[in-house]
Amino acid sequence: MKTKCIAMLLAGGKGTRLKQLTSHIPKPAVPFGGRYRIIDFVLSNCRNSSIKNIGVLTQYARNPLHEYLGNGKKWGLNGGLTLLPPYQYGLQKQWYDGTANAVFQNLDFIEEHNPEHVLILAADHIYKMDYNEMLYDHMNADADITIAVQKVPLMEASRFGIMITNAEGRIIKFEEKPIYPLSDLASMGIYLFKWRPFKEWIESGINKYENSDFGHDVIPTMLMDGYHLHAHHFNTYWRDVGTIESYWEANMDLLKEEKNVFFEKKNWDIYTDCSPQAPRYISPTAVIRNSIINEGCKIYGEVINSVIFFGVSIGHGSIIKDSIVLPFSTIGKNVIIEKSVVNSNTSILDNSWIHSNTITFVRNDEPPQTKRIITNVF
């Protein structure tokens, strides 16, 4: 039986630019927004878009992600989620070598479902999207490939795949991360392929496994080969959280009503697998302003413009400002934390000051000592 559309989630990234946040887990498994993980957004988008067959391509530190995802039941996918780590070919172990290579190694999985269209999704973006709208646009344009796009500030355009389109939305030029961008129309890394033409192109012998990345290799080559590439405009909140700075900014966006992704598409829930916690406790000494405080927290100090994940304890006299504190961390007494990301299960000593990359220990019996924080903050 032919399937309308299946999704392939690229979830194997090491996420080195997230530094210590991904020292033991892959980027899609990093906590976000107080109680979620980054991958929850794309999985929830699939569920809400009624995409029932999803392959999750995993690689780096995959066991924690596999354990978290299970069979997808928490996201209402009812067994439609399949984990696809790299596996051995003959006597050699074949690791995924880029986004497209990962998909090419799983053509048998796609063929089992016999889809009309294949949706390629990054598992490390924060957004709410109805993929049916993109599919409708794709089919209406009779495109071989449709790419979700969004305008970005021109000064940031060199970080993205940049394209030029004609009046009908057909892509006529595409450059991956150009030094001198010719436009501000950026690829979101979301690709929708008409499966048969794409399969025929793959099997035509054009460097099947050497073309390892969609942005660098597949999209420019298929454009040059004359395939019909179409741009689908997405105009609401979207952020790639690939760096510590962008991760911090995306969490801070939740504290602004006009940028809070959860306030968009009110009936578009984001699902997660979050263990139950005790009710939060806010002591009489606590002061909280414009912040997110989650279950299981004990707050004795002051929290200003910050996102505090579940199970966090903040001691008397401490001030947390413009910061993110990940799950089950303990902040001592009289601690000042500003514009920082504190990793999960971290203990901050009493009388410490953390600001971005620096921590200062203040003791009564000696002058303050300053040293670099390596594992806990950016």
What pLDDT sits at residue 206?
52
State pLDDT tens for residues 319-328: 999 999 999 9
187 and 233 inside one domain: yes
- How many structural domains compose the chain? 2
258 and 323 inside one domain: no
Burial class of residue 360 (count of CB atoms within 10 Å of its CB; 0-12, 13-18, 19+): middle
In a domain, 276, yes or no: no
89 and 178 inside one domain: yes
335 and 257 inside one domain: no
DSSP 170-183: BEEEEEES-SS-S-
Domain housing 329: 281-372
Question: Last residue of some domain: 230, 263, 296?
Answer: 263
160 and 200 inside one domain: yes
Task: Give the CATH number of the domain where residue 201 resides.
Answer: 3.90.550.10
In a domain, 19, yes or no: yes
205 and 259 inside one domain: yes
**What value does the mean pLDDT take over residues 250-260?**
96
124 and 156 inside one domain: yes
Burial class of residue 313 (count of CB atoms within 10 Å of its CB; 0-12, 13-18, 19+): buried
CA–CA distances in Å: residue 204 to residues 197, 198, 199:
10, 10, 9
247 and 128 inside one domain: yes
Give the global pTM: 0.90
What pLDDT sits at residue 89?
57
Q: pLDDT category, 91, cuts 50, 70, 90?
A: very low
200 and 85 inside one domain: yes
221 and 308 inside one domain: no
Q: pLDDT category, 226, cuts 50, 70, 90?
A: very high
Question: Last residue of some domain: 234, 263, 292?
Answer: 263
Please give the residue that has the higher pLDDT: either 361 or 163. Answer: 163
Q: pLDDT category, 205, cuts 50, 70, 90?
A: low
138 and 247 inside one domain: yes
Question: Last residue of some domain: 229, 263, 297?
Answer: 263
In a domain, 269, yes or no: no
238 and 317 inside one domain: no
As a whole number of angstroms, the distance between CA 307 and CA 310 comes to 10
